[in-house]
Structure 1
Amino acid sequence: MSFTAFNFEPSLQEGLDAMGFDRPTPIQEMAIPVILEGRDLIACAQTGTGKTAAFVLPILNKISKSGSGTLNTLILAPTRELAIQIDQQIQGFSYFLGISSVPIYGGGDGIVWEQQKKALETGAEIVVATPGRLIALLAGGKIDLSSLEHLILDEADRMMDMGFSDDILKIVNYLPQNRQTILFSATMPPKIRQFSMKFLNRPEEISLAIGKTAEGVTQSMYSVYDTQKEDLVRYILSKKAYEAVIIFASTKDKVKALYKVLRKQFDIEAFHSDLEQVEREKIMSNFKNKAVKILIGTDIISRGIDVVGIELIINFDTPSDPEDYVHRVGRTARADKEGEAITFVNPKDQYKFVRIEKLIGMNITQNSLPEGFESGPEYAGEKSKPSGALSSGSKPKNKKKKKPNNKQAGEGRSPAHDSKPRSNAPKPQAAPRPETPKSAPVANETTETFSKFGQRKNVIES
């Protein structure tokens, strides 16, 4: 189908035409009619499926029809980066509409605080906010939300993982009960469904298959030891003059360490939570404009960063959650373009990688290490176990007996240690810990919140 089938206002359709939007994605095709009809919605769709436009476009169309000049829509997002991205997309779509939006997020100085407070008080039609900063502004100012008609939660699962559940419920208490509520989530575990029933009214449900990576992504892996990773990433980056690359590491400490190694040779920046907001915005802007070619970060940039044209994703560390793999890989091959995703898998992460292959429903190609590299560990595939003999991804010491020489005399275990017989005496056992009593069962929160299903109540008393 075409976007013209939605019968958007002419000014909105003109903006879509100018931006080259022709056909809606599956989530847009399913979600837009539901939102236009004013029904509450729970939608499950992963990164890269066009979900932002799925809720922004029908909201813009409704505001354009009503001509509302007051606060109409509140969009909650888990991170400042996603809030900024959503705000930028709203500005693009509403270019011919004259509808205003403002992002509200933490960081910055007192001037930023006052600017955000004033924007809320004077009233933009759409506010895109992170929960923590919005709670602070609501508690400290006279902000009128009585005109609000739409509440949208984007990446609800991520907000819950980050501990924003209570903040969301507090925000809901400030809002009119007669509103349309829309919840988007990349995953839909039972806790999300139960949580959503506290403030949604008989929602429609849409779910797209989780775990499907884009068809344009070429996926492969290297079975490596941790000691081989740095040399391998340098080799890959040196093969081609890439215009846009993201490298994912498991922790911000690894991000910082890898950045120090690679910056001597490549045009690269590190993106992590220790940076000031101004620094993060500058780095992301430079990356989007191709002034910076390579970005290293944690999973903070696996969701909500919409950059078209990323050619290569390198998973320096195998993600622990298979769905995080899908989100990382979803950064490339966007807008019908092609991309490549390469994952480094050490011995302790082989079981994680098997789970990834099961989720996406395919066997990922294993690459041979380049010429000049020592052999990596054997990839066990389906035979991998959650906890094997190796406790880390390090290369095991060679246990074959070799003739000692001067160079080896100071390395590894000493000959005296090697020849020492092992004791067969049993090791003393620690006294067993007293069993912790099981907690009492928790009452069903959904039942307590509603007198009957679908009747919305505010859940936090003022």
Structure 2
Amino acid sequence: MKFEETYLNDNILDALYDMHFDDCTPIQEGCIPQILDYHDVIGIAQTGTGKTAAYLLPILSMLDDGGYPKDAINCIIMSPTRELAQQIDQAMQGFGYYLDGISSVAVYGGNDGPRYDQEMKSLRMGADVVIATPGRLLSHIRMGNVDLSRVSFFVLDEADRMLDMGFSDDIMQIVKLLPSDRQTILFSATMPEKIQSLAKSILKDPVEVKIAVSKPAEKIHQMAYICYEPQKLGIIRHLFKGNKLKRVICFSGKKDKVKEITRQLKQIGVNCCAMHSDLSQQERDEVMLKFKACQCDVLVATDIVARGIDIDDIQMVINYDVPHDCEDYVHRIGRTARADREGEAVTLVSDKDMYAFGQIEDFLEKDIEKIPLPGDLGDAPKYSKQRPNSPRHGKRGKGHGRRRSPAKGKTSAGKRGKSRSAKTSDKKKDNASREKIKE
């Protein structure tokens, strides 16, 4: 579907024409008409599918058409991180280029003084669109800077990330201040039970638009090292030996590991910097500025603070640990091979993460190339896609991988059939039955 086939108004279409946007992505095609028809919407789509435009375009079009108060906050867009809030704000400036009467403000933590005063002024005057992180918005609410009584649109972007970061109570506090007749739009990469529960409590008869997770770009050369956890730092040192790698992002799910990886890389002379939640907002900004300006060769980062990274020249992505789900894996390695470039993705798969990595391979419908460990790191575990609690999983020879005791009423033979004693007992019963019949 082309944007001009939708009911978006001419000012929005003119901006899209200037930006050379002609065709809707699948999530935009599914969401835009439903939002324009005033339905609550659940959009299930990963990052990079065009979901920001899927809700911004119809909301801006309706606000520009009129009928909404000029002195009130008409739309609240919640973002889990400052970085995503900034991206939404940038998209807002582009899509709203011809919208003279629509005002907006981005509200997020890490800024004091003049920035906070500007936020306060915009909120009190009634900015049409407020893009905010939960904590910062609640801070303004407590200071009496915000009136949410006339909000017409409430958007939760990356709702799964918001709940993972512990914003559930904050969101519900904000929801209680909103009018009941608002239009609510929720976007999430996944739909776990906690998101379903949230959706039931804040949306009314929502239309669900689900877009299948897209596969990674074909130009990403995906590889994996099968290893034990203590061998990972040795692999990292091997990868960066000789300092030849540049423009690399190394992801880890834990900030302590990010700090340790950074220390190890600095010890061998790698020009690297770390991005994690212990840094102040000013420190995060400085790190991103250095990395974007190529003053830092390697960025070591956690998932949450790295979701705002949007750089075209990343040559390699390293997954120090296996992501929790397929969507996270696709999101991480999608930082490379952008703008029609080639890239590499390397994942370090410990013996405990083999099953999770196997699930990713099944989703991708391919076996990812396994790279032998450097000779000085010792032997690697045998790769297996079995669940971690499987008796055979991680078995390294005599003395390892003890077999579980069979559950009560079951034999250790499992699906292979009944035990010998059970079969003998059944045979005796059958013979006894035959004798009775003869009698």
TM-score by length of 2: 0.79
Q: Aligned to 1:340, what secondary structure does the other structure show? A: strand
Equivalence for 2:50: 50
Equivalence for 1:254: 257
Q: How far off is 1:44 after superposition?
A: 0.6
Q: How far off is 1:233 after superposition?
A: 2.9
Match among 121, 125, 128 for residue 118 of structure 1: 121
After superposition, residues 113-192 of structure 1 pair within 5 angstroms as 113-192=116-195
Distance 1:56 1:325 in 2: 27
Distance 1:253 1:190 in 2: 29
RMSD, aligned CA: 3.2
Equivalence for 1:285: 289
Distance 2:360 2:350 in 1: 14
Contact in 2 for aligned 1:302/1:328 (Cα 8 Å):
no
Distance 1:335 1:187 in 2: 26
Change (3 A) 1:67 1:207: same
Amino acid at match of 1:91: Q
Equivalence for 2:354: 350
Equivalence for 1:221: 224
Match among 211, 233, 245 for residue 230 of structure 1: 233
Deviations 1:256-309 (A, max 9, x none): 122123245333221011111111122223434544442111121453443344
Amino acid at match of 2:276: H
Equivalence for 1:92: 94
Q: Aligned to 2:43, what secondary structure does the other structure show? A: strand
Contact in 2 for aligned 1:320/1:352 (Cα 8 Å):
yes
Q: How far off is 1:342 after superposition?
A: 1.0
What is the aligned residue count? 395
Change (3 A) 1:173 1:226: closer
Deviations 1:5-32 (A, max 9, x none): 3354344333333333333222122112
Contact in 2 for aligned 1:332/1:338 (Cα 8 Å):
yes
Distance 1:286 1:386 in 2: 44
Change (3 A) 1:22 1:218: farther
Distance 1:376 1:114 in 2: 59
Q: Aligned to 2:202, what secondary structure does the other structure show? A: coil
Deviations 1:40-84 (A, max 9, x none): 100111122221121122222222332864422100111222222
Q: How far off is 1:374 after superposition?
A: 4.2
Distance 1:278 1:150 in 2: 31
Q: How far off is 1:248 after superposition?
A: 0.7
Distance 1:303 1:390 in 2: 33
Q: Which moved more, 1:249-258 or 1:151-160?
A: 249-258
Equivalence for 2:418: none
Q: How far off is 1:234 after superposition?
A: 4.2
Amino acid at match of 2:310: D
Contact in 2 for aligned 1:316/1:343 (Cα 8 Å):
yes
Q: How far off is 1:360 after superposition?
A: 3.6
Contact in 1 for aligned 2:83/2:307 (Cα 8 Å):
no
Q: Aligned to 1:191, what secondary structure does the other structure show? A: helix
Q: Which moved more, 1:301-310 or 1:246-255?
A: 301-310
Distance 2:339 2:67 in 1: 32
Distance 1:361 1:301 in 2: 30
Amino acid at match of 2:258: V
TM-score by length of 1: 0.76
Q: How far off is 1:112 after superposition?
A: 4.1
Q: Aligned to 1:265, what secondary structure does the other structure show? A: coil
Distance 2:31 2:241 in 1: 43
Distance 2:347 2:78 in 1: 32
Q: Which moved more, 1:180-189 or 1:88-97?
A: 88-97
Contact in 2 for aligned 1:302/1:331 (Cα 8 Å):
no
* Structure 2, unpaired ranges of 5+: 400-439
Q: Aligned to 2:328, what secondary structure does the other structure show? A: helix
Distance 2:343 2:279 in 1: 28
Change (3 A) 1:397 1:78: same
Equivalence for 1:81: 83
Q: How far off is 1:181 after superposition?
A: 0.8
Q: Which has the higher helix share?
A: 2
Amino acid at match of 1:47: T
Q: How far off is 1:335 after superposition?
A: 5.9
Change (3 A) 1:379 1:29: farther
Amino acid at match of 1:54: A
Tell which has more relative contact order, 1 or 2 (C-alpha 8 A, sep 6+): 1
Q: How far off is 1:366 after superposition?
A: 1.1
* Structure 1, unpaired ranges of 5+: 400-462
Q: Which moved more, 1:127-136 or 1:278-287?
A: 278-287
Q: How far off is 1:239 after superposition?
A: 8.1
Equivalence for 2:320: 316
Amino acid at match of 2:208: E
Q: Aligned to 1:382, what secondary structure does the other structure show? A: coil
| Percentage of identical aligned residues | 46
